Amino acid sequence: MFGIVRPCAHRLGDGLKGRWTAHLCGLCLALRDDHGQFARVVTHYDALLVSVLTEAQTGPVEGSPRTAGPCPLRGMRTASVVRGEGARLAAAVSLVLAAAKVRDHVADGDGPLARRPVAAAARRVAAGWGRAGARGGAAVGFDTGVLVDAVERQAGLEALAGPGTPLHAVTEPTGTATAAAFAHTAVLAGRPGNAAPLAEAGRHFGRLAHLLDAVEDRDADAASGAWNPLTATGTPLTEARRLADEAVHGIRRALRAAEFTDPALVHALLAHEPARSVDRAFGTTACGHPPEAAFGPPPGPDAPYRPDDPFRAPYGGEPPRPDRRGFWAGCAVAVGLCCTCKVCCADTYEGPWSGKRREGWCGNCDCGDCDCSCCDCCSCGSCCDCDC
């Protein structure tokens, strides 16, 4: 899973964390249901925003959320997951993006892909994902050709870029592709008036994603001799930071012009998290939680119960009691906890046999400037350090 929006569970709180996870699991299952088990490896954090935007404009659709079966990433627990056209659109976008990423690595001859047999196999996988993404997009009325066209134009723009080339010219294809995906959520939601502001938000978000990727890869690209937009255009980090901050404010301005049925999760993910991603990429202020806090299981039995939370509905209106796992199932979960370092590094984790919430050995909430006790200073209930 990859992307620039990787929210810390402590900032989201139990309610929004459960909804975020429901979208993430919904995207993963949409990939499996429509394109097979292997397609689940392309689950993409940023493409997930498409599902979040769709539901924020419509509210939960009929049949969503649904209860999914046990999964190793949830400690072999069931969970409520989002389903619907938003998740299917997110799946199509994820497949096309993954196909483009694989082709890019093949072209660069990265690692094992420098070997012809491996590169040939990777090309076949990428071609299959591209076709699957096109089919998935067509099923929800979205032409993935705009994404493919953006990828193809990118190579030409990079070949022409040189010192003095505006960075916006290099990041334009990513912005255009993201704008199309964000705008189509308004079509799925039946809110045509939102198409223009969401396209603008997507344009800024796509440019920001491309820019932050360049910042994070700058040193590694210089060491390997790979092409990097900052190096190629001679853009200093100070200018890159200015453009990143400009994109963050552009996203917020665009969101204010859109209408949502439930803006809470969109506000948290698009009004707040991009700024934190900028801080993380440039090595400035960032949340001090361990990386695994960015993704975890939905609110467990120890989380506060909210009767109005639709993502807790399958529990029948009462907090569930933890079920003990069998010996072998517990062993399997224990191995997973140890291999992922959750036992020592996570703030909390579920006991492999008891299912009870446990404290990580080294778990420590060190947020720095991140306020874990988020106030209700805006309508979404998120910490409001922005001008939205």
**Tokens 């396209």, residue?**
199
322-365 residue pLDDT tens:
556 666 666 777 666 655 555 544 556 677 766 766 655 444 44
Of residues 318, 229, 243, 315, the one with CA closest to residue 278: 243
**What CA–CA distance (Å, rounded) separates 202 from 172?**
11
Provide φ and ψ at 144, rounded to 5°. Answer: -70, 0
Q: Which residues contact 337 (CB under 8 A, 6 or more apart)?
A: 343, 349, 352
pLDDT at residue 283 above 90? no
CA angle 129, 148, 282 (to 5 degrees): 95
CA dihedral 179, 180, 185, 187 (to 10 degrees): 130
User: And the tokens for 32?
Assistant: 């499996």
Angstrom CA distances, 147 to 41, 177, 181, 213, stand at 20, 5, 9, 18
48 dihedral zone (left: phi>0; alpha: psi -120 to 50; beta): alpha
Residue 307 has pLDDT above 50, yes or no: no
Mean local confidence (pLDDT), 267-279: 92
Which strand (E) or helix (H) includes residue 56? helix 48-58
**Residue 167 reports pLDDT greater than 80:** yes
- Compute and round to an integer the Cα radius of gyration of the chain: 21
CA distance 212 to 45: 15
Instruction: Catalogue all structural domains in the chain, each as residue range(s) with its CATH number.
Output: 9-290 (1.10.600.10)
pLDDT beyond 50 at 374: no
Report the candidate in 335, 332, 344, 347 with the shortest Cα–Cα distance to residue 295.
347
Report d(CA 285, CA 266) in Å as an integer. 22
Query: What average pLDDT does range 316-326 have in this prediction?
Result: 51
What pLDDT does 103 receive?
A: 86
Dihedral sign (CA 335, 340, 341, 342) = negative
- 266's CB contacts (< 8 A; 6+ apart) are 52, 53, 56, 255, 260
Most confident of 100-109, 188-197, 365-374: 188-197
Highest mean pLDDT among 68-82, 125-139, 243-257: 243-257
Residue 366 and residue 46: Cα distance in Å, rounded?
26
Residue 304 pLDDT: 38
Distance (Å, whole) CA 108 – CA 114: 8
What's the rounded mean pLDDT across residues 40-54? 88
Lookup: tokens for 288? 């001090």
Supply 116's token pair: 């012809």
- In whole angstroms, what separates CA 177 from the centre of its chain? 16
Integer Cα distance of 111 and 114 in angstroms: 6
Q: Distance between CA atoms of 267 and 256, rounded to whole angstroms? A: 10
- Joined together, the tokens standing for residue 277 give 């991603």
DSSP E strand stretches across the chain: 66-71, 77-81, 348-350, 357-359
Which residue in this structure is represented by tokens 């040939």?
A: 120
pLDDT value at 316 more than 80: no
Residue 308 pLDDT level (bands cut at 50, 70, 90): very low
Residue 252 has what pLDDT?
Answer: 96
DSSP letters spanning 226-243: ---HHHHHT--HHHHHHH
Q: How many helices (H) and strands (E) does the chain have?
A: 13, 4
pLDDT reading at 297 higher than 70: no
